[in-house]
Amino acid sequence: MASEVREFNIIVAGVGGQGVLFTSRVLTRAALDSGLNFVQSEVHGLAQRYGSIKTEVRIGKDVISPLIMEGTLDLLLALEPIETLRYAGYITERTSIVLNTHLVAPVGAYLERLRIPKLEEVLDALQKLGPKRLVPLNAVELAAKAGDIVATNSVLLGAADALGVLPFEEGVLRRALEKESPKRFIELNLRAFDLGREHILKR
């Protein structure tokens, strides 16, 4: 399987502080453990202080550039709904979207009196882009069930894993999460991952 993967492109999107960087590190660990080439880019510093943040994870033997080209996105993993919208130009029929439905409004929008979209509007706009799959789930709730909302990103990883679109063999992503988690978070993260998986599988 490994050598057949030519190009699989993922954007992980969210708000600074939600664990976007950690999530992408787990994905690259899974790629490495699968013997796959990868390139993953991120931005640090001022750019990540509770603002929009994304990383791009590219997996496969054809990839060398750290940035994804519009129209070639395979998976959009979003920790926050508004953040999915920014990558609308990347989404085509080859894109699966997994998103956490817990909406975090930007406080600046209140000050400017900007209209904040409702979840239904976000989902509707995404659906109109014609993605392969659109999978909304309340990952915060599932993470709380697992023990702490800091594990929200692990729930999403589990959900993405269960969809079967990622170029990894069964169990690889879960083991990557275990390896990358700080010791005191391993159990929590794995519980959250499993809840995310179950949520998709039992649908």
Give contact residues for another protein (rule: CB under 8 A).
15-17, 24-25, 28-29, 32, 37-52, 62-72, 82-83, 85-86, 88-92, 102, 104-112, 114-117, 121-122, 125-126, 128-129, 140, 148-149, 152, 180, 184
| 17 backbone φψ class: left, alpha, beta (φ>0; ψ -120 to 50) | left
Helix (H) or strand (E) holding 53: strand 52-59
Distance in Å, CB of 110 to another protein, minimum: 5
Least Å from the CB of residue 49 to another protein: 4
Q: 5 or 82, CB closer to another protein?
A: 82
| 3-state secondary structure (DSSP) of residue 185 | helix
| Residue closer to another protein (CB basis): 19 or 158 | 19
H or E segment at 81? helix 81-85
Least distance CB 191 / another protein (angstroms): 16
Cβ atoms of residues 23 and 77 within 8 Å: yes
Q: How far apart, in whole angstroms, are the C-alpha atoms of residue 119 and residue 149?
A: 20
Minimum CB distance to another protein smaller for 62 or for 169: 62
Which residues contact residue 197 at a Cβ distance below 8 angstroms, ignoring those fewer than 6 apart? 158, 159, 161, 162
Shortest separation between residue 22's beta carbon and another protein, angstroms: 11
Tokens 């594990």 sit on residue? 151
- Give min distance, CB of 201 to another protein, in A: 25
In Å, how far from its chain's centre is CA 199? 16
Q: Which is nearer to another protein, 1 or 69 (CB)?
A: 69
Calculate ∠ Cα 49-51-52, nearest 5°.
135
CB nearer to another protein: pick between 78 and 162: 78
